Structure 1
Amino acid sequence: MPLTPFETFNGREPHPLFPGVGLKAVAGDQVFLGHVTYAPGTTVARHSHEHTEQVMLILDGSVTMTIGDATRELRAGDVCVVNRGVEHELHSTDGVTFVEALGPVPLDHIPDRERDLVLGDLAGSLHVER
Protein backbone atom coordinates (compact mmCIF):
# COMPACT_ATOMS: atom_id res chain seq x y z
CA MET A 1 0.00 0.00 0.00
CA PRO A 2 1.36 3.49 -0.80
CA LEU A 3 2.49 5.49 2.20
CA THR A 4 0.59 8.55 0.96
CA PRO A 5 -2.75 9.21 -0.71
CA PHE A 6 -0.96 11.37 -3.30
CA GLU A 7 0.46 10.08 -6.59
CA THR A 8 1.29 11.34 -10.07
CA PHE A 9 0.85 9.92 -13.54
CA ASN A 10 3.60 12.27 -14.81
CA GLY A 11 6.53 10.29 -16.14
CA ARG A 12 4.76 6.97 -15.73
CA GLU A 13 4.67 4.70 -18.79
CA PRO A 14 1.17 3.43 -19.65
CA HIS A 15 0.42 -0.21 -18.91
CA PRO A 16 -0.55 -2.08 -22.13
CA LEU A 17 -4.05 -3.20 -21.13
CA PHE A 18 -4.96 -4.47 -24.62
CA PRO A 19 -3.25 -4.09 -28.03
CA GLY A 20 -3.16 -0.34 -28.77
CA VAL A 21 -4.54 0.58 -25.32
CA GLY A 22 -2.36 2.23 -22.66
CA LEU A 23 -3.55 2.69 -19.06
CA LYS A 24 -2.36 4.64 -16.03
CA ALA A 25 -4.49 3.79 -12.99
CA VAL A 26 -5.20 4.63 -9.38
CA ALA A 27 -7.95 3.34 -7.12
CA GLY A 28 -9.23 3.44 -3.58
CA ASP A 29 -11.69 1.13 -1.90
CA GLN A 30 -14.66 2.17 -4.04
CA VAL A 31 -13.53 4.08 -7.15
CA PHE A 32 -11.09 3.41 -9.99
CA LEU A 33 -9.69 6.27 -12.08
CA GLY A 34 -7.79 5.60 -15.28
CA HIS A 35 -6.01 7.75 -17.86
CA VAL A 36 -6.40 5.82 -21.11
CA THR A 37 -4.86 6.25 -24.56
CA TYR A 38 -5.80 4.43 -27.76
CA ALA A 39 -3.30 4.34 -30.61
CA PRO A 40 -4.71 5.21 -34.05
CA GLY A 41 -6.72 2.33 -35.49
CA THR A 42 -7.46 0.72 -32.12
CA THR A 43 -10.65 -1.29 -31.71
CA VAL A 44 -11.94 -2.78 -28.47
CA ALA A 45 -14.48 -5.46 -29.40
CA ARG A 46 -18.00 -5.64 -28.01
CA HIS A 47 -17.94 -6.63 -24.33
CA SER A 48 -19.59 -5.84 -21.02
CA HIS A 49 -18.48 -5.37 -17.45
CA GLU A 50 -20.46 -7.76 -15.29
CA HIS A 51 -19.83 -5.93 -12.02
CA THR A 52 -18.72 -2.39 -12.86
CA GLU A 53 -20.21 0.81 -14.19
CA GLN A 54 -17.95 2.93 -16.44
CA VAL A 55 -17.98 6.70 -16.93
CA MET A 56 -15.71 8.30 -19.54
CA LEU A 57 -14.58 11.88 -20.25
CA ILE A 58 -12.86 12.39 -23.61
CA LEU A 59 -9.78 14.64 -23.32
CA ASP A 60 -8.30 14.57 -26.82
CA GLY A 61 -8.93 12.91 -30.18
CA SER A 62 -12.07 10.97 -30.98
CA VAL A 63 -13.61 7.55 -30.54
CA THR A 64 -16.68 5.89 -32.01
CA MET A 65 -18.53 4.41 -29.07
CA THR A 66 -21.41 1.96 -29.26
CA ILE A 67 -23.35 1.42 -26.04
CA GLY A 68 -26.10 -1.14 -26.46
CA ASP A 69 -27.64 -0.21 -29.82
CA ALA A 70 -26.66 3.48 -29.77
CA THR A 71 -23.51 4.71 -31.56
CA ARG A 72 -21.92 8.14 -31.31
CA GLU A 73 -18.62 9.79 -32.21
CA LEU A 74 -17.17 11.27 -29.00
CA ARG A 75 -14.67 14.14 -28.98
CA ALA A 76 -12.93 16.28 -26.35
CA GLY A 77 -15.41 17.32 -23.66
CA ASP A 78 -17.92 14.56 -24.41
CA VAL A 79 -18.90 12.09 -21.71
CA CYS A 80 -20.70 8.76 -21.62
CA VAL A 81 -21.96 6.26 -19.07
CA VAL A 82 -21.88 2.50 -19.56
CA ASN A 83 -24.04 0.84 -16.92
CA ARG A 84 -23.07 -2.50 -15.43
CA GLY A 85 -23.74 -5.41 -17.79
CA VAL A 86 -24.38 -3.27 -20.90
CA GLU A 87 -22.48 -4.37 -24.00
CA HIS A 88 -20.31 -1.73 -25.64
CA GLU A 89 -17.50 -1.37 -28.17
CA LEU A 90 -15.04 1.31 -29.19
CA HIS A 91 -12.99 2.26 -32.24
CA SER A 92 -10.61 5.16 -32.68
CA THR A 93 -9.40 5.89 -36.20
CA ASP A 94 -6.97 8.65 -35.24
CA GLY A 95 -6.34 7.91 -31.55
CA VAL A 96 -8.01 9.14 -28.37
CA THR A 97 -7.19 10.02 -24.78
CA PHE A 98 -9.79 9.84 -22.04
CA VAL A 99 -10.29 9.55 -18.31
CA GLU A 100 -12.50 6.74 -17.06
CA ALA A 101 -13.98 5.99 -13.67
CA LEU A 102 -15.15 2.49 -12.79
CA GLY A 103 -16.99 1.34 -9.72
CA PRO A 104 -16.61 -0.95 -7.97
CA VAL A 105 -12.87 -1.21 -8.56
CA PRO A 106 -12.00 -3.92 -11.14
CA LEU A 107 -8.72 -5.50 -10.08
CA ASP A 108 -7.93 -6.59 -13.65
CA HIS A 109 -7.47 -2.85 -14.45
CA ILE A 110 -4.86 -2.30 -11.71
CA PRO A 111 -1.37 -2.65 -13.24
CA ASP A 112 0.54 -2.56 -9.93
CA ARG A 113 -1.47 -3.29 -6.79
CA GLU A 114 1.36 -2.06 -4.54
CA ARG A 115 1.58 1.34 -6.27
CA ASP A 116 -1.91 1.89 -7.69
CA LEU A 117 -4.20 1.03 -4.75
CA VAL A 118 -4.81 3.38 -1.82
CA LEU A 119 -6.92 1.34 0.57
CA GLY A 120 -8.97 2.69 3.44
CA ASP A 121 -11.04 1.09 6.16
CA LEU A 122 -12.73 -1.28 3.67
CA ALA A 123 -9.32 -2.75 2.75
CA GLY A 124 -10.45 -3.45 -0.82
CA SER A 125 -13.36 -5.65 0.28
CA LEU A 126 -15.62 -4.22 -2.45
CA HIS A 127 -13.14 -4.82 -5.31
CA VAL A 128 -14.11 -7.22 -8.09
CA GLU A 129 -11.93 -9.35 -10.36
CA ARG A 130 -13.54 -8.19 -13.65
Structure 2
Amino acid sequence: MSAPAVKVAVDTVEANTKRGGDIRVTLSPRTVGCRSGFGGRLTLAPGEYVTEHLHPYSEEFLHVVRGRLEMTLDDQPVQLTVGDSLLVPIGVRHRLVNTGDETAEAVFHLSPLAPRPELGHIDTEQPLNAAAGNPDVGGADVGGAQAGGVR
Protein backbone atom coordinates (compact mmCIF):
# COMPACT_ATOMS: atom_id res chain seq x y z
CA MET A 1 0.00 0.00 0.00
CA SER A 2 1.34 3.44 -0.86
CA ALA A 3 1.53 6.35 1.57
CA PRO A 4 -1.35 8.86 1.54
CA ALA A 5 -0.94 12.12 -0.34
CA VAL A 6 -0.26 15.15 1.84
CA LYS A 7 -1.44 18.64 0.88
CA VAL A 8 0.38 21.71 2.21
CA ALA A 9 -1.10 25.21 2.00
CA VAL A 10 1.61 27.80 1.33
CA ASP A 11 0.21 30.14 4.01
CA THR A 12 0.79 27.50 6.71
CA VAL A 13 4.54 27.43 6.07
CA GLU A 14 6.97 29.89 7.67
CA ALA A 15 8.66 32.27 5.22
CA ASN A 16 12.41 31.94 4.77
CA THR A 17 13.74 35.50 4.30
CA LYS A 18 17.40 34.74 5.01
CA ARG A 19 18.58 35.22 1.41
CA GLY A 20 15.88 37.74 0.43
CA GLY A 21 12.32 37.60 -0.79
CA ASP A 22 9.67 35.33 0.65
CA ILE A 23 10.64 31.70 0.14
CA ARG A 24 8.23 29.06 1.42
CA VAL A 25 9.33 25.44 1.31
CA THR A 26 6.00 23.62 1.19
CA LEU A 27 7.05 20.07 0.32
CA SER A 28 10.10 18.81 2.20
CA PRO A 29 11.31 16.17 4.63
CA ARG A 30 10.13 18.47 7.43
CA THR A 31 6.64 19.14 6.09
CA VAL A 32 5.64 15.88 4.40
CA GLY A 33 8.44 13.40 5.11
CA CYS A 34 9.61 13.17 1.49
CA ARG A 35 13.11 11.85 0.83
CA SER A 36 14.03 12.79 -2.74
CA GLY A 37 13.91 16.60 -2.81
CA PHE A 38 12.04 19.71 -1.72
CA GLY A 39 10.14 22.56 -3.29
CA GLY A 40 7.83 25.48 -2.80
CA ARG A 41 7.06 29.06 -3.79
CA LEU A 42 9.21 32.18 -4.06
CA THR A 43 7.79 35.72 -4.08
CA LEU A 44 9.91 38.79 -4.88
CA ALA A 45 8.74 42.42 -4.82
CA PRO A 46 10.03 44.74 -7.59
CA GLY A 47 13.79 45.21 -7.18
CA GLU A 48 14.02 42.49 -4.52
CA TYR A 49 16.53 39.67 -4.94
CA VAL A 50 17.76 36.38 -3.54
CA THR A 51 21.46 36.54 -2.67
CA GLU A 52 23.97 34.47 -4.59
CA HIS A 53 24.47 30.90 -3.43
CA LEU A 54 24.98 27.42 -4.83
CA HIS A 55 23.74 23.91 -4.15
CA PRO A 56 26.60 21.37 -4.00
CA TYR A 57 24.28 18.33 -4.15
CA SER A 58 21.08 19.46 -5.86
CA GLU A 59 19.76 20.66 -9.19
CA GLU A 60 17.23 23.49 -8.93
CA PHE A 61 14.19 23.70 -11.19
CA LEU A 62 12.55 27.15 -11.34
CA HIS A 63 9.22 27.91 -13.04
CA VAL A 64 8.06 31.55 -13.37
CA VAL A 65 4.33 32.01 -12.80
CA ARG A 66 4.17 35.82 -12.48
CA GLY A 67 6.42 38.77 -13.29
CA ARG A 68 9.90 39.21 -14.79
CA LEU A 69 13.05 37.81 -13.24
CA GLU A 70 16.74 37.68 -14.04
CA MET A 71 18.74 34.68 -12.87
CA THR A 72 22.50 35.14 -12.98
CA LEU A 73 24.26 31.79 -13.38
CA ASP A 74 28.04 31.93 -12.81
CA ASP A 75 27.98 35.65 -13.80
CA GLN A 76 25.83 35.05 -16.93
CA PRO A 77 22.37 36.72 -16.80
CA VAL A 78 19.29 34.86 -18.06
CA GLN A 79 16.01 36.79 -18.54
CA LEU A 80 12.87 34.96 -17.40
CA THR A 81 9.17 35.73 -17.74
CA VAL A 82 5.83 34.00 -17.20
CA GLY A 83 5.89 30.46 -18.53
CA ASP A 84 9.69 30.15 -18.55
CA SER A 85 11.41 27.31 -16.73
CA LEU A 86 15.09 27.15 -15.85
CA LEU A 87 17.42 24.39 -14.68
CA VAL A 88 20.21 25.47 -12.33
CA PRO A 89 22.81 22.67 -12.44
CA ILE A 90 24.54 21.32 -9.34
CA GLY A 91 27.34 23.59 -8.14
CA VAL A 92 26.41 26.64 -10.25
CA ARG A 93 26.40 30.00 -8.43
CA HIS A 94 23.08 31.75 -8.91
CA ARG A 95 21.34 34.96 -7.87
CA LEU A 96 17.74 35.89 -8.69
CA VAL A 97 16.39 39.47 -9.11
CA ASN A 98 12.89 40.77 -9.82
CA THR A 99 13.55 43.10 -12.77
CA GLY A 100 9.90 43.94 -13.36
CA ASP A 101 7.50 46.46 -11.88
CA GLU A 102 5.15 43.92 -10.28
CA THR A 103 5.57 41.22 -7.67
CA ALA A 104 7.10 38.10 -9.21
CA GLU A 105 6.32 34.53 -8.23
CA ALA A 106 8.04 31.31 -9.09
CA VAL A 107 7.76 27.72 -7.99
CA PHE A 108 10.89 25.68 -7.41
CA HIS A 109 12.06 22.17 -6.73
CA LEU A 110 15.52 20.91 -5.74
CA SER A 111 16.75 17.34 -5.86
CA PRO A 112 18.39 15.20 -4.78
CA LEU A 113 18.64 16.19 -1.14
CA ALA A 114 22.01 16.98 0.42
CA PRO A 115 23.26 14.37 2.93
CA ARG A 116 22.33 16.81 5.73
CA PRO A 117 20.16 19.97 5.52
CA GLU A 118 23.00 22.32 6.51
CA LEU A 119 25.00 21.12 3.48
CA GLY A 120 22.27 22.07 1.00
CA HIS A 121 23.26 25.72 0.40
CA ILE A 122 26.61 27.49 0.24
CA ASP A 123 26.28 31.27 0.43
CA THR A 124 28.67 33.10 -1.92
CA GLU A 125 27.18 36.49 -1.01
CA GLN A 126 26.32 37.73 2.48
CA PRO A 127 22.70 36.75 3.29
CA LEU A 128 20.38 39.75 3.66
CA ASN A 129 18.77 38.57 6.87
CA ALA A 130 21.04 36.00 8.55
CA ALA A 131 19.17 36.50 11.84
CA ALA A 132 16.01 35.12 10.19
CA GLY A 133 17.34 31.60 10.54
CA ASN A 134 16.68 28.98 7.92
CA PRO A 135 13.25 27.31 8.24
CA ASP A 136 14.01 25.16 5.24
CA VAL A 137 14.08 21.47 4.62
CA GLY A 138 15.24 20.50 8.10
CA GLY A 139 14.79 17.29 9.99
CA ALA A 140 11.67 15.23 10.30
CA ASP A 141 9.05 17.45 11.96
CA VAL A 142 6.21 15.95 9.96
CA GLY A 143 3.93 15.40 12.94
CA GLY A 144 4.16 19.00 14.15
CA ALA A 145 3.70 20.40 10.67
CA GLN A 146 0.67 18.23 9.99
CA ALA A 147 -0.83 19.20 13.32
CA GLY A 148 -0.48 22.83 12.21
CA GLY A 149 -2.98 22.44 9.40
CA VAL A 150 -0.74 20.90 6.75
CA ARG A 151 -2.82 17.87 5.82
TM value normalised by structure 2: 0.63
Q: 1:33 aligns with which of 7, 17, 39?
A: 39
Equivalent residue in structure 2 for 1:102, among 110, 119, 128: 110
Q: CA RMSD in A?
A: 2.5
Equivalent in the alignment of 2:82: 76
Question: How far apart are 1:15 and its partner, in Å?
Answer: 1.4
Q: Percent identity?
A: 24
Q: Distance in 2 between matches of 1:8 and 1:34?
A: 10
| Displacement of 1:21 | 2.3
Shift of 1:7: 1.3
Q: Output the CA distance in 2 between the equivalents of 1:112 and 1:17.
A: 19
- Provide the C-alpha distance between the structure 2 equivalents of 1:41 and 1:111, rounded to a whole number of angstroms: 29
Q: Which moved more, 1:49-58 or 1:27-36?
A: 27-36
In structure 1, how many angstroms separate the alpha carbons of the residues matched to 2:13 and 2:141? 16
How far did 1:59 drift? 0.7
Flag the structure with higher strand content.
Answer: 1
Task: Find the aligned partners of 2:75 and 2:109 in 1 and give their Cα distance.
Answer: 22
Unmatched tracts of structure 1, length 5 or more: 117-130
TM-score calculated relative to the size of structure 1: 0.72
Candidates 58, 63, 68, aligned match of 1:52: 58
Show the counterpart of 1:7: 7
Give unpaired runs (5+ residues) of structure 2: 29-33, 119-135, 144-151
Change (3 A) 1:53 1:40: same
SS of equivalent residue, structure 2 residue 141: helix
Moved over 6 A (4+): none
Matched residue pairs, number? 114
